[in-house]
């Protein structure tokens, strides 16, 4: 009986029928791996959820959306959406011991498309996220030149618009983008017809020119051009590092994260203590946290908070399910998730102090207003922050430190995403991929394909494509939609009470009951409302102030619709399979009945009750011939260990 199990007994779902059939044919299949200890799991999860968004997006959103006031919508989304979905996905993986696709197949076969959609998001991330690391490697190598190449205007890539900031220029007001420099042409002789006297002379910083004309070599037309050889080599180097971090599975991943997940904290602490001791740091931090209550009435602030929570917590990507699937059955994933959420949000807030203290020093040294300095995304990491660090004594040291931090912050997020995709594919095709040496080949194939697909991002037009993927690929629209389906399926189809029983069976006690009502009502309502507002209020791509290629709209639509259509397509496929059965019964395992492999602690209890009223009755599980119960498997494991 389940109640008679000892505390240390590890219970796992029965093996996939395909594995049994392969064993019957004499094939040698490898057992599914487990984390060596809890620390490896925690560091892998921390490495995935704590990434570049914590450093270059969250602090900017605080500054942009009312300073400390932004914490209100942020924590509302975190408590009622982020934590419930984060825990749901992690617990789902641990309960089923399956990756992002097969976990949903076993819980509710009709909604297997949720897992497919999340893997499409992971594919987007595997292709474009690593390009940021290639940029970081390029900057890192550039730090070892005698003079930092982005601090002067004497390089071959600089234009006549390039000017370093100096006191005289700043006090004259000519450093602004709309300053009129036409007085430079105030001469008595005739000008060439190529000179446009009516056009103002635009000032560009050397950091921005290095980013645009040396790193990106950006174009303003529709052509991508061939890949830049130096960026291609940097991208290849990062992929090689990523491959050898995970090629042997969680056994190597669990060891690598001891360094990659902790080293960025060391560097962030060093930058923090250096930043807060600089003149002007207080001004920068005040801009970061100064509250503006009026911002709370702006719906865009709430949308920004929601998308930041969903992206920074890596929900709706199948990654949490994959990592949780390598836990032992009785691991207390509830406490783990609470601790990880606290660590993630704490890191985001702490990173803001490190970032804005340095930017405040830059504003102080250059007599610039903070509005002219603060940037988000790549603009912060590759333009504003390098400029600020170049003003410090020993700029090479601080620049190396910063770009190493950027590299390691993104590296573990990258290889965990690759691990998630490899796990999902292995669990879908265990008879083919769960064999000796197949794992290494699969990861190599993923790395090679994603590297080739990422080459357009290191071309002259690559930055335009990067921005499109970043905005429309793993975007708030897709993540919010997947979150709605996840919570609705668990709450109303599989049954929130049944899932609570599964969790209690794993951790030994029921989690907070608020989670149940979040899955049933609060989370899908907030996510649905935010999704609807995002769809209505988002401006069209053609209205963007940035250059948009002619093919941009088509790419944006393709990126958005691909994951979204996976869910309804697989629902229709499941219904068609059901209707084609001789019995014409649409309540069988092809639709909403979970796999009999999954252990049910209380199979006779209703799936959902509200206010002591039964909303969804119990569900009779189907058992197929040859399947082994969880108790039989556990007994076999205990006997083997004796």
Q: Is 298 annotated as a binding residue?
A: no
| Domains of the chain by residue range | 38-152+210-580, 608-635
The pLDDT value given to residue 633:
41
- Cα separation of 515 and 518, whole Å? 5
The pLDDT value given to residue 612:
86
Q: Is 233 annotated as a binding residue?
A: no
What is the per-residue pLDDT across 287-346, written as a single tens digit (0 to 9) for each? 898 888 999 999 999 999 999 999 899 999 999 999 999 999 999 999 999 999 999 999
Residue 632, helix vs strand vs coil: helix
Of 285, 291, 267, nearest to 364 by C-alpha is 285
H or E segment at 389? helix 385-390
The pLDDT value given to residue 187:
44
- Cα separation of 29 and 22, whole Å? 8
Q: What is the dihedral of CA 533, 535, 540, 541, to 10 degrees?
A: 120
Burial code of 610-624, b = ≥16 C-beta within 10 A, e = fewer? eeeeeebebbeeeee
- Cα separation of 317 and 480, whole Å? 11
Rounded to the nearest integer, the mean pLDDT of the chain is 85
The pLDDT value given to residue 25:
47
Q: What whole-number percentage of the chain has pLDDT above 70?
A: 84
Of 28, 448, 90, 474, nearest to 247 by C-alpha is 448
Token pair for residue 275?
A: 């930043």
Q: How confident is the model at residue 83 (pLDDT cuts 50, 70, 90)?
A: very high
Helices 229-246, 395-428: inter-axial angle, 10-degree rounding: 60
The 10 Å Cβ neighbour count of residue 201 is 16
Of 348, 387, 356, nearest to 374 by C-alpha is 356
Q: Is 546 annotated as a binding residue?
A: no
Residue 544, helix vs strand vs coil: coil
H or E segment at 613? strand 613-616
Residue 610, helix vs strand vs coil: strand
**DSSP, residue by residue, 50-75:** SSHHHHHTHHHHHHHTTGGGGHHHHH
- Cα separation of 599 and 9, whole Å? 14
Between 166 and 512, the higher pLDDT residue: 512
The pLDDT value given to residue 166:
55
Q: Is 641 annotated as a binding residue?
A: no
Q: Is 47 annotated as a binding residue?
A: yes
CA torsion through residues 195, 199, 200, 204, sign: negative
Beta-strand ranges (E) seen in 226-375 are: none
Pairing of strands 608-610, 613-616: antiparallel
Rounded to the nearest angstrom, the gap between the alpha carbon of residue 331 and the centroid of all alpha carbons in its chain is 24
Residue 84, helix vs strand vs coil: helix
The CATH code of domain 38-152+210-580 reads: 1.20.1740.10
Q: Which of these ranges, 105-109, 177-181, 211-215, has the smallest mean pLDDT?
A: 177-181
Burial code of 466-487, b = ≥16 C-beta within 10 A, e = fewer? bbbbbbbbbbbbbbbbbbbbbb
H or E segment at 264? helix 263-276
**In sequence order, which ranges of 429-551 are alpha helices (DSSP H)?**
430-433, 438-454, 462-472, 476-488, 496-507, 514-517, 523-537
Q: Is 535 annotated as a binding residue?
A: no
Instruction: For residue 616, list its beta bridge partners.
Output: 608
Which residue reads 């119960």 in tokens?
A: 629
The pLDDT value given to residue 110:
93
Longest dimension (CA), the chain: 100
The pLDDT value given to residue 248:
85
Say what the pTM is.
0.87
Is 289 exposed, middle or buried (CB count within 10 Å of its CB: 0-12, 13-18, 19+)?
buried
Residue 581 reports pLDDT greater than 90: no
- Cα separation of 169 and 179, whole Å? 11
- Cα separation of 46 and 261, whole Å? 7
Entry field: residues in the chain? 642
- Please, what is the Cα angle at 308 between 127 and 243, to 5 degrees? 30
Most confident of 79-88, 213-222, 380-389: 79-88
Q: Is 158 annotated as a binding residue?
A: no
The pLDDT value given to residue 543:
66
Residue 123, helix vs strand vs coil: helix
Residues 443, 213 contacting (CB under 8 angstroms)? no
Q: How confident is the model at residue 380 (pLDDT cuts 50, 70, 90)?
A: confident
H or E segment at 616? strand 613-616
Q: How much is the average pLDDT of 550-556? A: 91
Residue 130 reports pLDDT greater than 50: yes
Q: How confident is the model at residue 563 (pLDDT cuts 50, 70, 90)?
A: very high
**DSSP, residue by residue, 172-201:** HTTTSTT---GGGG--SSPPPTT--TTS--
Q: Give first-to-last CA distance, the chain, whole Å.
A: 20
The pLDDT value given to residue 582:
62
Residue 12 reports pLDDT greater than 50: no
The pLDDT value given to residue 583:
57
Residues 432, 78 contacting (CB under 8 angstroms)? no
Residue 584 reports pLDDT greater than 70: no
- Cα separation of 140 and 136, whole Å? 6
């Amino acid at each position: 009986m389940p109640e008679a199990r000892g505390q240390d007994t590890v219970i796992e779902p029965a093996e996939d029928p395909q594995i049994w059939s392969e064993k019957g044919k004499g094939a040698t299949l490898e057992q599914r791996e487990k984390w060596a200890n809890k620390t490896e799991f925690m560091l892998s999860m921390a490495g995935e959820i704590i990434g570049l968004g914590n450093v270059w997006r969250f602090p900017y959103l605080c500054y942009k959306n009312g300073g400390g006031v932004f914490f209100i919508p942020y924590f509302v989304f975190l408590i009622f959406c982020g934590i419930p979905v984060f825990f749901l996905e992690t617990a789902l993986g641990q309960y089923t011991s399956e990756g992002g696709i097969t976990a949903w197949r076993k819980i509710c076969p009709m909604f297997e498309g949720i897992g497919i959609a999340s893997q499409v998001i992971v594919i987007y991330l595997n292709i474009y996220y690593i390009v940021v690391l290639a940029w970081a490697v390029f900057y890192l190598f550039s730090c070892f030149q005698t003079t930092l190449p982005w601090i002067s205007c004497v390089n071959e890539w600089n234009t006549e618009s390039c000017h370093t900031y100096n006191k005289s220029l700043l006090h004259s007001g000519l450093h602004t983008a709309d300053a009129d420099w036409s007085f430079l042409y105030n001469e008595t002789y005739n000008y060439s017809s190529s000179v446009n006297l009516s056009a103002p002379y635009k000032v560009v910083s050397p950091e921005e020119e290095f980013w645009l004309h040396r790193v990106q070599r950006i174009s303003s037309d529709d052509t991508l051009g061939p890949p830049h050889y130096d960026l291609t080599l940097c991208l290849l180097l990062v992929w090689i590092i990523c491959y050898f971090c995970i090629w042997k599975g969680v056994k190597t991943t669990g060891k690598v994260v001891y360094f990659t997940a902790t080293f960025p904290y060391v560097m962030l602490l060093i930058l923090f203590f250096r930043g807060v001791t600089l003149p002007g740091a207080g001004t920068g931090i005040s801009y970061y946290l100064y509250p503006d209550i009026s911002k709370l009435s702006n719906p865009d602030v709430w949308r920004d908070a929601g998308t930041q929570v969903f992206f920074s917590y890596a929900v709706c990507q199948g990654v949490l399910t994959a990592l949780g699937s390598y836990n032992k059955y009785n691991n207390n994933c509830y406490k783990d998730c609470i601790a990880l959420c606290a660590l993630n949000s704490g890191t985001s807030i702490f990173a803001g102090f490190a970032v804005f203290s340095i930017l405040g020093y830059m504003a102080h040294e250059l007599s610039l207003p903070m509005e002219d300095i603060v940037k988000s995304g790549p603009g912060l990491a590759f333009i504003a922050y390098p400029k600020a660090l170049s003003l410090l004594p020993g700029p090479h040291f601080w620049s190396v430190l910063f770009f190493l931090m950027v590299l390691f912050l993104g590296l573990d997020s990258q290889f965990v995403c690759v691990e998630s995709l490899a796990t999902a594919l292995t669990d879908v095709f265990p008879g083919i991929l769960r064999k000796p040496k197949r794992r290494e080949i699969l990861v190599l194939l993923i790395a090679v394909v994603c590297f080739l697909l990422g080459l357009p991002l290191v071309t002259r037009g690559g930055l335009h494509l990067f921005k499109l993927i970043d905005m429309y690929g793993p975007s708030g629209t897709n993540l919010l939609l997947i979150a709605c389906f996840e919570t609705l399926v668990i709450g109303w189809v599989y049954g929130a009470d049944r899932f609570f029983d599964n969790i209690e069976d794993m951790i030994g006690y029921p989690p907070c009951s608020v989670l149940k009502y979040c899955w049933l009502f609060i989370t899908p309502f907030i996510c649905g409302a935010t999704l609807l507002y995002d769809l209505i209020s988002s401006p069209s791509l053609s209205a963007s102030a940035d250059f948009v290629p002619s093919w941009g709209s088509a790419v944006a639509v393709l990126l958005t619709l691909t994951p979204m259509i996976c869910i309804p397509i697989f629902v229709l496929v499941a219904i068609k399979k059901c209707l084609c059965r001789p019995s014409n019964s649409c309540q069988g395992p092809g639709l909403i009945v979970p796999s009999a492999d999954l252990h049910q602690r209380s199979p006779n209890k209703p799936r959902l009750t509200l206010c002591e009223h039964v909303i969804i009755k119990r569900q009779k599980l189907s058992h197929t011939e040859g399947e082994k119960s969880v108790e039989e498997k556990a007994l076999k494991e205990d006997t083997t260990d004796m």
